[in-house]
Amino acid sequence: MIEIAQFEEVTQIRMSRVIDGVPIYWVSAYLVDGLLIDTGCDYTAKELASYLEGKRLDIVVNTHFHEDHIGCNYLIKDRFNVDIYAHSESIPLIGKKAFLYPYQETVWGYPVPTEVKPIPELIRTEHFTFEVVETPGHSVGHVALLEREKGWCFSGDIFSRETLKFIRPEEDMDQTIQSMKRLLDFKTERLVLFTSVGKIIEDGRAALEGCIAYLENLSMKAKHLKDRGYTVKEIIQDIFGGEQVIRSPFFEGKP
């Protein structure tokens, strides 16, 4: 299932697998001036490729290697003969079979391994210039794209919401905070966040600052409890009410 929305010159393409008529998790790609940022998951690859037929498509960027961002890579290369770019640390991971937890396989599916090229420092389209900003934390090899004059920031998964609901085991939250601060350091008149979860946030600075404060507060609470002798399990119970398991009639498993 895909849904289309427009914000200024940017087309947002929201995608989700549908089970029993219910979309189970939305992810977003963005098309602007012939540049496609991310390609969704395997389950929606054919729909995205069909939508792109007849559209201007000159270049594709994967913000990182996760399965919900590279799922249509193989069809795009086959049908449109355009280059796909990613950070050097993401390239070998995009090019081999992914390891997925059960919930990931159910929600997004296995992406087809694809060869992609190293991303340059700048991406120039006909009307815009996008700076490639290294933003590790959510994953290695994660990048955001910043268009200074417009104040657009395509943030991938380095920011999803001000209060995170869950994270993957391999995420580095200290790096995530530093990456969000790096985006805040850019001197632009405004900062609009185009997130992969489908939110377009016009006051991106306030959202980033709110998320940073939330994560730093959690860190202080955890350190305080650790200093008092709490175990990791006890800290999780005290702060979050216990480990959260993804519960759904469609799938089972832990992130």
The pLDDT of residue 171 is: 83
pLDDT the model gives residue 162: 83
Q: Residue 101: its pLDDT value, please?
A: 87
* DSSP conformation letters of 112-180: PP---EEPPSEEE-SS-EEEEEE--SSSTT-EEEEETTTTEEEEETS-S-SS-S---TT--HHHHHHHH
Map out the domains of the chain as residue ranges: 2-221
Residue 35 one-letter amino acid: L
Amino acid 169: pLDDT: 73
From residue 168, alpha-carbon distances to 39, 74, 100, 127, 206 in Å are: 20, 25, 11, 36, 25
Helix (H) or strand (E) run with residue 236 in it: helix 232-240
Say how far apart CA 68 and CA 15 lie, in whole Å.
10
Query: What pTM does this model have?
Result: 0.91
225/235 Cα distance (integer angstroms): 6
pLDDT digits (tens), the chain, 255 positions:
999 999 999 999 999 999 999 999 999 999 999 999 999 999 999 999 999 999 999 999 999 999 999 999 999 999 999 999 999 999 999 999 999 989 899 999 999 999 999 999 999 999 999 999 999 999 999 999 999 999 999 999 999 888 776 777 788 889 999 999 999 999 999 999 999 998 999 999 999 999 999 999 988 998 899 899 989 888 888 887 776 655 444 444 333
The CATH homologous superfamily for domain 2-221 is: Ribonuclease Z/Hydroxyacylglutathione hydrolase-like (3.60.15.10)
